[in-house]
Structure 1
Amino acid sequence: MATITGVVITLNEAANIEACLASLAKVCDELIVVDSGSTDATCRLAEQAGARVIAQPYLGDGPQKNVGPAQARNRWVLSLDADERLTYEAIETINRLDLVSSEKEAFALRRRNHLGSRWIKTCGWYPDYCVRLFDRERTAFSDSRQHASISTVNMTQLDADIEHYSFANLGELFTKASGRFSSRAAKIMYLKGKKANALSPFVHGANAFVRKYVFQHGFTSGLDGMSVALSAAVNAYLKYAKLLELQRDSQVREAEDFNRIW
């Protein structure tokens, strides 16, 4: 059976890192944490859990997630975010894989995205297939600094889930959408030269709501479905409203630090 290296990137994840590493340890014989300057107990807890901690100032999502695999001693890497956990079924499925002779470059697992303790199965939140297990000698994360993914077509979707504790509560769902998520996206779009007009916030906000609530069946999930759809609309609206503000207001633009997107 092939050995696997588990890799997690962190920043102030003391509340999550122990449970994440404990689940990885059930299938991995090496654990690596790539930390971008935590000021809490993340690094100490990771080391106590048996992980090797690598200090690395944040490079953006893809480049940061490639740091650990580059220093792994195993060919196969299992990459989780700190707020993700392997389910029992995922552990059993991965342990049964014949990675030594596998012709595949990577394997994807379904992700159960949670709001609080509630598993949201609509709004495009499930099944949310993500490539997490991959051969680092044949593929890697893309260079994208936002929402990077493994670049491969030679992969298989496994019949197993990972848990993703996305948002602690409804308040966090909306504060993240209206705060750093939309601000970061607006700055990225501005630097790429993307343009917005006065209608852009409304059009994109309405489109996000209809997609989540109607076409991705959020209406069947009651208050949670409505909340997820509304937060997506808020995020989309503000993303384009903030982009428009950067375009037309020099005072706001000059006060913004475009070197601190990540």
Structure 2
Amino acid sequence: MAAITGVVITLDEADNIEACLHSLARVCAELIVVDSGSRDDTVARAEALGARVIHQPYLGDGPQKRVGPAAATHRWVLSLDADERLTEGAVAAIEALDLETTATDAFALRRRNFVGSRWVRHCGWYPDYCLRLFDRERCNFSESRQHASIPASQPVRLDADLEHYSFANLAELFGKASGRFSNRAAKILYAKGKRANAASPALHGANAFMRKYVFQRGFLGGLDGMSVALSAAVNAYLKYAKLLELQRDAKVREATDFDKVW
């Protein structure tokens, strides 16, 4: 199998980085961590596991994720977030690939998204295919600073999963939706010239709930399905409520630092 460089971007990921790097080390010959100013011991823990740490102030999702591949020794790159892990099936699927001769430029894995230790299989959360293994000479992360993807020309989906421990509990699920997720989205929309009206928050919130709970079958997921749908609704409602507030309230607008979106 061709050598692979594993890359992770981090900020205060001391609780996650060791498990993530142990996971990557099963299939990667080189480990790179791109850290954007952690104040905990993320860097020390990464270096103790043999990772090369690159210190880079945060540039936004895509630009930040391009830093590691540019510094990689090997042509093939496996990029994980710090809260992601390879399953046994993913390790076996990657080890079985002939990366030296393949015409494929990127491989996607299904992602199992968790709340706590509970795998949420509905609400559009599974299968959540993500391109993670790619040939850096043929493709790379886009320059998008929010939710960057890899625009590969010949991607292949592997029959294997990642695990994504995205929320420690329901409090974190709702806290992120009502806090930094909606704050960031509102600032991005305002900076792009998007505008809301009085009906926008309720309409977008209701639409988000219906999409997750009904059309993406969140009703089959019990409490967690309902919670994911409600958190999506809260996020959508507050995104447009905060956008409307920025439009209408000069005091709020003047106190908002639009340079700290990321």
Give me the TM-score of the superposition, normalised by structure 1: 0.99
Question: Cα offset for 1:153?
Answer: 3.2
Corresponding residue for residue 227 of structure 2:
227
Corresponding residue for residue 24 of structure 1:
24
SS class of match (2:143): coil
Q: Deviations over 1:45-102 (max 9, x none)?
A: 0001110000000000000000000000000000000000000000000001000001
The 1-side partners of 2:194 and 2:49 are apart by 44
Corresponding residue for residue 11 of structure 1:
11
Q: Deviations over 1:219-247 (max 9, x none)?
A: 01111100000000000000011011111
Q: Deviations over 1:99-118 (max 9, x none)?
A: 00011110000000000000
Runs of 4+ in structure 1 displaced over 2 angstroms? none
Corresponding residue for residue 54 of structure 2:
54
- Stretches of structure 1 that go unaligned for 5 or more consecutive residues are none
The 2-side partners of 1:4 and 1:127 are apart by 25
Q: Deviations over 1:4-39 (max 9, x none)?
A: 000000000000000000000000000000000001
Task: For 1:242, give the aligned amino acid.
Answer: K
1:163 aligns with 2:163: yes
Once the two structures are superposed, the pairs formed by residues 63-102 of structure 1 within 5 Å of their partners are: 63-102=63-102
The 2-side partners of 1:9 and 1:35 are apart by 6
SS class of match (2:104): coil
Corresponding residue for residue 207 of structure 1:
207
Task: For 2:110, give the aligned amino acid.
Answer: R
Task: For 2:163, give the aligned amino acid.
Answer: E
1:246 aligns with 2:246: yes
The 2-side partners of 1:252 and 1:127 are apart by 40
The 2-side partners of 1:198 and 1:154 are apart by 44
Corresponding residue for residue 147 of structure 1:
147
The 1-side partners of 2:259 and 2:215 are apart by 37
Corresponding residue for residue 43 of structure 2:
43
Question: Cα offset for 1:195?
Answer: 1.1
The 2-side partners of 1:143 and 1:205 are apart by 29
- Stretches of structure 2 that go unaligned for 5 or more consecutive residues are none
SS class of match (1:24): helix
SS class of match (1:259): helix
SS class of match (2:80): strand
Question: Cα offset for 1:169?
Answer: 0.2
The 2-side partners of 1:124 and 1:45 are apart by 34
Question: Cα offset for 1:248?
Answer: 1.3
Q: Deviations over 1:144-169 (max 9, x none)?
A: 11111111231000000000001000
Aligned residues: 262
Give me the TM-score of the superposition, normalised by structure 2: 0.99
Corresponding residue for residue 111 of structure 2:
111
The 2-side partners of 1:258 and 1:40 are apart by 26
Q: Percent identity?
A: 74
Corresponding residue for residue 133 of structure 2:
133
SS class of match (2:132): strand
The 2-side partners of 1:129 and 1:59 are apart by 25
Task: For 2:2, give the aligned amino acid.
Answer: A
The 2-side partners of 1:72 and 1:164 are apart by 24
